[in-house]
Structure formats: C-alpha cells, structure tokens
C-alpha cells in the first residue's frame, strides 16, 4: 500500500500526519493513525497512535516515495 497522510488545517498552518487506510465508504476513509504524538481532529476529537477513526476523503493524500 502507498504512503498516505492525514492533512489538518490548524491555527499553526497545515499539518500532515502519517496514516494507513483500512477501508472506505462513499465519502469517508477509515484510517489508523501512525503519528507518535496525538492528533486533535475536527470536532475536538483527540486521537492517539494506533487509533482507528473516520475522516473525509479530501483530508487524505498520497505522498511520493523517494
């Protein structure tokens, strides 16, 4: 599977967090977070390493492998 990142707009700018896509619906992905530190998701949801969450498809991007 290709490398994916979760992109979140924060007050400090756009932040990218590594993730793994597990499944998808028509408008969302279920992802497993691979970031070592916690991630504050929209709606004041806090997610830690290894947690499975649903996010909109427009928030997940491919990153090229060098």
What pLDDT sits at residue 25? Answer: 93
pLDDT digits (tens, 9 = 90+) for 6-63: 999 988 899 999 999 999 999 999 999 999 988 999 888 999 999 999 999 999 999 8
Quote the pLDDT of residue 63: 82
How far apart are alpha carbons 48 and 66 in whole angstroms?
27
Domain hosting 22: range is 4-62
Please give the Cα distance from 12 to 24 (Å, whole number). 29
Question: Any residues with CB less than 8 A from the CB of 11 and at least 6 apart, and which?
Answer: none
Q: Provide the whole-model pTM.
A: 0.84
Contact 33, 19 (CB under 8 A): yes
Q: What is the pLDDT of residue 43?
A: 85
Q: How many domains are contained in the chain?
A: 1
């Amino acid at each position: 599977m290709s490398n994916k990142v979760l992109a979140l707009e924060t007050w400090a700018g756009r932040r990218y967090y590594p993730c793994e896509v597990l499944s998808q619906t028509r408008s969302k992905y279920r992802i497993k977070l691979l970031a070592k530190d916690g991630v504050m998701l929209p709606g004041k949801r806090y997610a830690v390493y290894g947690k499975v969450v649903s996010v909109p498809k427009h928030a997940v991007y491919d990153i090229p492998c060098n």
